[in-house]
Amino acid sequence: MKLYIKAISSYRSDKDESNLKQVLKQQYKVDVRRKDDFIYAGLYGALRLQEKVSIERDNELYLTSGFGNLNILAKMHKYMIENKEPIKLFDFINMLGNTTSFYVASMLGIKAKTLFQISDNFTFFHTLIMIYASLQKSKNEAILGTIDIVSENEEVLKRIAGIEEKTSLVSAVHYQKISLNPKDALCVLEFDTKFYTLEEVKKIIENTNLHVRFSSRCQALHKEGKPYFETDVVEVIYNAIQNNEQTLYVECYGQRYKLLYQFQL
């Protein structure tokens, strides 16, 4: 399967210390009331993409995240379990995943399919497969956003993610405009539905001339002390485009592996 990237936007909290709420309000004139950090990040990434490429009303919108909005879940726990208080209406609304999709779609003027989806693993890969299947039928283009926000309690996120306590965490948001049409594309992504074994991946790596990049979960293949966010595959894609590289990205959960090839055009 192949998908072509037409444009991409990127934000990382360790490289851009902007207050997203203030930037949205002052620079983009966005109504920031009744929204939270997760929604701010989704809106900011989408607006940055819109500055680079035309977004049409029939473009499909897909948002995904490694773990979703953990901060709002922590707030719900504090309301209901610790304080024995009722949930505030807009906090309940913001807890729903598709609320972010609604705000982003409304801001971009998208009237086609919108979907917020999280898988318990390989969430970016599964989203690519969903996009490919949908575009084959609709013949439209898609906007894909990945949103990973550092939770207020970093220990919780590290425990859920299964990463070392000393690992630094960053918030990161990436958006891409994706098409089945290679015209004017920056690069092409190639992937499949197969799960690979460790031995199969080792053989593939031995026989490739591509720059190989690894998820931080692939400890059996590579150890690298870099800042962590769940969907860091999109950062690899972004850097490969910037550096004009052809890459092979290796992701793993447990004993299962998936591969994503990225070629410049």
Render pLDDT for 180-215 as a digit per residue (tens, 0 to 9). 999 999 999 999 999 999 999 999 999 999 999 998
Strand boundaries in the chain, DSSP class E: 2-12, 60-64, 114-117, 142-148, 172-179, 187-190, 211-214, 247-253, 256-264
- The mean pLDDT value for 145-156 works out to 83
* Total Cβ atoms within 10 A of residue 12: 16
Percentage of the chain with pLDDT > 90? 64
- The mean pLDDT value for 117-124 works out to 88
Q: Model confidence at 159, in pLDDT bands (50, 70, 90)?
A: confident
Structural domains in the chain plus CATH codes:
2-186 (3.40.47.10), 188-264 (no CATH)
- The mean pLDDT value for 71-88 works out to 66
Render pLDDT for 229-260 as a digit per residue (tens, 0 to 9). 788 899 999 999 999 999 999 999 989 999 99
Comparing 2-6, 35-39, 115-119, 150-154, which segment has the lowest mean pLDDT? 150-154
Q: Is the model more confident about 82 or about 173?
A: 173
Query: pTM for the complete prediction?
Result: 0.90
Q: What is the DSSP letter of 59?
A: -
